[in-house]
């Protein structure tokens, strides 16, 4: 996945990059204390280990076992467990009503808030900035490098990630230590709705999910009804300029453009986010170009396209267009309004 898209999934909020992590509790303090003690006694401990290697091995084994026993005790083992299937087809054993949920993607955080589960969100990433109150939650790192240490310290009983986050190594570590991990993987607008439904089932918020889904489907149907029968302009979406990156057949953004009454010039290209040459874009004659927030203007060559010549170049809110959560429907409405202004 291109780096620019990773930033978009993170939320692309630069001021959040340096946000201080919140206090995670006594277990996190234990980690910090352990590091300080390790530094202070490094020379002495190293000497002992050279003289008594068998004793050192036994010592480390005791620490390891005690640490994970403490983590298991802090989680609530008494809750009934059920097995569900995530969006990659994996079986996940999770408590019937998780109480300590960690979200590792901005889109997932938005879904949890929309389902009324704010009080059960134990931690988020530094890029989870919507709704605004999400910024007050404990931070476990960013979407690409979350801290397993902090997740354990927060006594997580469920972690939800998005495949857009690209954190396979962290994923495996969490599974190995017994923390349930659910993977969200929407591939189109309908997939976003399905993901909301599945997460509602996962966290025991079925009624809230059903109500939200009904509202979103009504709005989607209204947009499609409004653009039905209208001409479909050729659309080019620019996600990055160096290199030039757009949306391909595998991106949910391509489906969104179709539902908004447009026709993506890259809809037939394989992959989620293909790279394009200026020459290819010019040859395909886009009638509308959609820019992201950080892109201020077109290159000279792209100004010679029908979109550039007719001044049909629009900015679209990154968070609405590129986060596969409830606000994707806001993005759909925004794009439809720009494509069909008559």
Convert the pLDDT of each residue in 20-34 to its tens digit.
333 333 333 333 333
Residue-wise pLDDT tens digits, 203-250: 999 999 999 999 999 999 999 999 999 999 999 999 988 889 999 998
In-domain check, residue 145: yes
- Sign (positive or negative) of CA dihedral 315, 318, 321, 322: positive
Query: CB–CB of 203/255 below 8 Å?
Result: no
From start to end of 163-320, where are the E strands? 181-184, 234-238, 240-241, 244-245, 263-264, 275-276, 288-291, 313-315
Assign residue 114 the CATH number of its domain. 3.40.50.1980
In-domain check, residue 33: no
pLDDT mean over 125-140:
97
Q: Clarify whether residues 96 and 187 are in a common domain.
A: yes
Q: Clarify whether residues 236 and 135 are in a common domain.
A: no
Question: Any idea of the CA torsion for 134, 72, 175, 19, to the nearest 10 degrees?
Answer: 30
Q: Which residues contact 255 (CB under 8 A, 6 or more apart)?
A: 188, 189, 190
Question: In which region does residue 89 sit, left (phi positive, over 0), alpha (psi from -120 to 50) or beta (all else)?
Answer: left
Helices and strands counted in the chain (H then E): 14, 13
Q: In whole angstroms, what is the distance from residue 293 CA to residue 316 CA?
A: 7
In-domain check, residue 3: no
Q: Which residue among 186, 214, 242 closes a domain?
A: 214
In-domain check, residue 40: no
Q: Give the other-Cβ count within 10 Å of 21's Cβ.
A: 14
Q: Clarify whether residues 15 and 156 are in a common domain.
A: yes
Q: Clarify whether residues 179 and 84 are in a common domain.
A: yes
In-domain check, residue 30: no
Q: In whole angstroms, what is the distance from residue 222 CA to residue 337 CA?
A: 12
CA angle 36, 38, 44 (to 5 degrees): 130
pLDDT range class, residue 70, cuts 50, 70, 90:
very low
Residue-wise pLDDT tens digits, 39-60: 444 443 444 445 555 545 544 4
Please state the φ and ψ torsions of residue 301, each to the nearest 5 degrees.
-65, -40
pLDDT mean over 1-11:
45
Q: Clarify whether residues 264 and 330 are in a common domain.
A: yes
In-domain check, residue 71: no
Query: CB–CB of 166/183 below 8 Å?
Result: no
Domain that holds residue 246: 230-339
CA angle 5, 7, 11 (to 5 degrees): 115
Q: Single out the residue of 254, 275, 247 nearest to residue 328, CA to CA.
A: 254
In-domain check, residue 267: yes
Residue for token digits 């068998």?
54
Q: Clarify whether residues 187 and 295 are in a common domain.
A: no
CA distances from 252 to 68, 196, 299, 303, 312 (A): 40, 15, 26, 27, 23
Helix, strand or coil, per DSSP, at residue 48: helix
pLDDT for 141 beyond 60:
yes
Q: Clarify whether residues 103 and 208 are in a common domain.
A: yes
Q: Which residue among 154, 181, 214 closes a domain?
A: 214
Q: Which residue among 180, 214, 248 closes a domain?
A: 214
For residue 263, what are the β-bridge partners?
234
How many domains is the chain built from? 2
Strand order in the sheet with 240-241: 240-241, 244-245, 275-276
pLDDT for 1 beyond 50:
no
Q: Clarify whether residues 87 and 234 are in a common domain.
A: no
> Between these two residues, 265 and 9, which has the higher pLDDT value?
265
**DSSP symbol at 23:** P
Q: Clarify whether residues 89 and 196 are in a common domain.
A: yes
Query: CB–CB of 101/125 below 8 Å?
Result: no
Q: Clarify whether residues 139 and 207 are in a common domain.
A: yes
Q: Clarify whether residues 118 and 251 are in a common domain.
A: no
In-domain check, residue 133: yes
Whole-number pLDDT of residue 53: 54
Q: Clarify whether residues 120 and 14 are in a common domain.
A: yes
pLDDT mean over 297-319:
91
């Amino acid at each position: 996945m291109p780096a620019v898209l990773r930033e978009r999934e993170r939320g692309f909020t630069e001021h959040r990059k340096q946000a201080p992590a919140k206090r995670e509790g006594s277990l996190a303090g234990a980690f910090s204390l352990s590091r300080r003690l390790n530094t202070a006694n490094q020379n002495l401990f190293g000497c002992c280990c050279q003289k008594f290697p068998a004793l050192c091995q036994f010592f480390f084994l005791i620490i390891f076992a005690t640490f994970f026993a403490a983590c298991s005790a802090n989680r609530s083992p008494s809750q009934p467990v059920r097995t569900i299937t995530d969006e990659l087809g994996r079986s996940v054993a999770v408590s019937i009503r998780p109480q300590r949920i960690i979200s590792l993607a901005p889109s997932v955080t938005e879904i949890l808030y929309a389902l009324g589960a704010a009080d059960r969100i134990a931690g988020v990433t530094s890029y989870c900035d919507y709704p605004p109150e999400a910024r007050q939650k404990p931070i476990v790192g960013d979407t690409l490098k979350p801290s397993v240490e902090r997740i354990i310290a927060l006594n997580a009983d469920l972690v939800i990630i998005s495949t857009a986050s690209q954190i396979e190594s962290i994923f495996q570590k969490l599974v190995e230590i017994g923390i349930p991990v659910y993977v969200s993987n929407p591939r189109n607008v309908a997939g976003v709705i399905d993901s909301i439904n599945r997460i509602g089932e996962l966290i025991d918020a079925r009624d809230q999910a059903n109500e939200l889904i009904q509202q979103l489907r009504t709005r989607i149907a209204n947009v499609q009804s409004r653009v039905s029968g209208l001409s479909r302009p050729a659309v080019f979406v620019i996600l990055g300029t160096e290199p030039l990156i757009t949306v391909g057949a595998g991106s949910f953004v391509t489906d969104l453009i179709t539902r908004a009454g447009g026709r993506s010039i890259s809809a037939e290209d394989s992959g989620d986010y293909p790279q394009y040459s200026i020459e290819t874009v010019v040859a395909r004659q886009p009638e509308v170009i959609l820019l992201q927030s950080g892109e201020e203007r077109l290159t000279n060559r792209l100004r010679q396209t029908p979109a550039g010549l007719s001044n049909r170049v629009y900015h679209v809110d990154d968070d609405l267009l590129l986060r596969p959560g409830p606000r994707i429907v806001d993005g759909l409405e925004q794009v439809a309004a720009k494509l069909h202004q008559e």
